[in-house]
């Protein structure tokens, strides 16, 4: 009879095969231990800093070079984690912008969109913050290679709309405008118009205004043409602020805050 490996040895074997995530159930079946024995062994590995558990029953192997930070980067395990949770997702906002080449203000947290309210994940020095988008499965995404596989990342155009919709996640509108200026070289005007049909008009109007503000009129013109056929109303650039400023007739936007774009 072949003796099953100890939990620590099994985790090392897993890492040797390039796998950095596993579930408690899988560990239990592979090492043929009882529920209690498995829990005890995994708790010991957690205390040693060799694994972390972003969610109950889901574990991430921490290689030696990441022991000081307490976890490998979120990109190593986000796809497996969301699969374990059974939730659609994509990496979004400033995290997606950074992946696409925006170097302005690297995000302090890893930002992820999903379809249901999801509490923040903290493992070691890694924080994953979730925003909810009920339309998530219609939004264009790209598969990006990671050190351990792939992950779903918002396209530059999807990222642009999300920066407008989730202003808190973007930092503030001036920061969103700065990031848009950097993302512009990766964006396609036709793709922007295509996504405009999936979101509410005020987000389209605000995005168009910001594209003009950062000198990207070529990207903005097809969007303005599409908007002409829609039933627009005047919207505030920044909801919740006083309705100051002269209305921009091209976008039907009242710029009630002053943008400070870092170019």
Q: Tell me what the pLDDT averaged over the chain comes to.
A: 91
d(CA 69, CA 22): 20
The string of pLDDT tens digits covering residues 220-229 is 999 999 999 9
Question: Where are the alpha helices (H) located in 101-155, listed in sequence order?
Answer: none
Greatest mean pLDDT range, 33-47, 83-97, 249-263: 83-97
Where does the pLDDT of residue 162 fall: very low under 50, low under 70, confident under 90, or very high at 90 and above?
A: very high
The predicted model gives 168-175 an average pLDDT of 85
Where does the pLDDT of residue 263 fall: very low under 50, low under 70, confident under 90, or very high at 90 and above?
A: low
Domains (range + CATH), the chain: 7-66 (1.10.10), 74-254 (no CATH)
208, with CB counted inside 10 A (0-12, 13-18, 19+), is: buried
In this prediction the pTM is: 0.90
Helix/strand/coil for 223: helix
Where does the pLDDT of residue 172 fall: very low under 50, low under 70, confident under 90, or very high at 90 and above?
A: confident
Q: What's the pLDDT score for residue 1?
A: 43
Question: Where are the alpha helices (H) located in the chain, listed in sequence order?
Answer: 7-16, 24-31, 35-47, 78-85, 93-100, 156-165, 173-183, 189-196, 201-213, 217-228
Q: What's the pLDDT score for residue 104?
A: 64
d(CA 130, CA 116): 9
């Amino acid at each position: 009879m072949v003796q099953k490996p100890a939990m620590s040895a099994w985790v090392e074997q897993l890492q040797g095969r390039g796998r950095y995530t596993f579930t408690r159930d899988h560990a239990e079946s592979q090492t043929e231990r009882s529920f209690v024995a498995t829990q005890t062994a995994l708790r010991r590995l957690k205390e040693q800093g060799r694994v972390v558990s972003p969610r109950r029953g889901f574990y991430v192997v921490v290689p030696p070079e990441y022991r000081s930070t307490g976890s490998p980067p979120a990109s190593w395990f986000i796809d497996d984690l969301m699969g374990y949770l059974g939730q659609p997702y994509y990496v979004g906002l400033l995290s997606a912008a950074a992946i696409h080449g925006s170097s302005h203000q690297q995000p302090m947290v890893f930002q992820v969109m999903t379809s249901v309210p999801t509490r923040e994940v903290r493992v070691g020095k890694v924080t994953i913050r979730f925003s909810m988008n009920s339309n998530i499965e219609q939004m264009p995404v790209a598969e990006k290679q990671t050190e351990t596989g792939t992950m779903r990342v918002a396209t530059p155009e999807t990222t642009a709309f999300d920066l407008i919709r989730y202003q808190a996640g973007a930092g503030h509108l001036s920061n969103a405008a700065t990031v848009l200026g950097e993302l512009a070289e990766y964006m396609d005007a036709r793709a922007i118009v295509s996504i405009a049909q999936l979101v509410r008009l005020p987000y389209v109007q605000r995005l168009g205004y910001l594209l003009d503000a950062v000198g990207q009129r070529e990207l903005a013109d097809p969007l303005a043409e599409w908007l002409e056929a829609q039933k627009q109303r005047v919207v505030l650039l920044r909801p919740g602020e006083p309705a100051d400023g002269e209305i921009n007739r091209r976008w039907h936007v009242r710029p009630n805050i002053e943008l400070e774009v870092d170019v």
